[in-house]
Amino acid sequence: MQSSQNGRFVALSVVVDGMLVCTGCHVSKPTSEYSRNRCRKTGFQPRCKACVKAWIAKRYAPGSVAKEARLRRRRDSQNLRYRTDPNFRNARIDRAKADVATLRDAAFQAYGGFVCACCGETERAFLQLDHIANDGCKHRKEYKVGGPGLYRWLKRAGYPPILQVLCANCNFGKRMNGGVCPHAAAQYGIEIQEV
C-alpha cells in the first residue's frame, strides 16, 4: 500500500496477503524478502534484503563519504581524548613502545639474536642493526623507512639478508674504516686507515 504525502509516495508498513512494500525501492514484495524485526508492527524490517545490502555496500565502500566522515569523527574523538586525558595518552604511549620493542626483538632474533656478529658483545643497549653492504642511506631513501618503521618493513619483507647485528663500536668503526670493522681488520690483517 502506498499513500501520497507532499507529492511523494510513502510506503505504508502493512502486510497484505503476505506482501509488504519496501521503503527503499517502493516495490511490493513477499515477506520472505525481508528480515525479521519483532519491534515493528509488521514484524519485518521496512526495507527488503536487497535494499539493505545495497545500502551497506554503498556505506562501507572504500572512499565513501559516509565511511570517511565516520573515520574522521572517530579519529577526532580519540585525538581529543589523547590531548585531554593523561591516562589515555600514557596508555597509548606505553602500548606503542611495547609494540616497537616486540618488533625490534623479532628483528634482532631474525638476524642472529642479541650478539654482535663481529666481537660477540651481548649488551642489548649497545647493539644495532647494520647494513652489510654499507648502503643504509640508499635503503632508507628508497623505502622511506627508519627507526621503528624499519622494523615494520623488515617484518613485511620477511627479514631479507641485508642486515647484521653489530655493537655500536663495530658499526661506527666499520663506517670510519671504509666498510671494515677494526676487529675484522686485525683478525684478517687488513690495514686500518687512520682518520
Alpha-carbon gap, residue 167 to 131, rounded angstroms:
13
For the chain, state the CA radius of gyration: 32
Instruction: List, for residues 48-99, the tens digit of each pLDDT value.
Output: 999 999 988 888 787 778 788 888 888 888 888 888 888 988 998 999 999 9
**Can you give the residue ranges of every domain in the chain?**
2-55, 112-188
Residue 33 DSSP one-character state: G
Report yes or no: 15 and 31 within 8 Å, Cβ to Cβ: yes
Report yes or no: 169 and 119 within 8 Å, Cβ to Cβ: yes
Asked: is 2-55 a CATH 3.30.60 domain? The reply is yes
Beta bridge partners of 10: 3
Alpha-carbon gap, residue 20 to 28, rounded angstroms:
5
State yes or no: pLDDT of 105 exceeds 90.
yes
Q: What are phi and psi of 45, to 5 degrees?
A: -65, 150
pLDDT of residue 83: 84
pTM: 0.56
User: What contacts 40, CB < 8 A, 6 or more positions away?
Assistant: 13, 46
Alpha-carbon gap, residue 45 to 30, rounded angstroms:
12
User: Which cell numbers in the block locate residue 154?
Assistant: 623488515
Instruction: List, for residues 109-158, the tens digit of each pLDDT value.
Output: 999 999 998 888 999 999 999 998 888 888 888 888 888 888 999 999 99
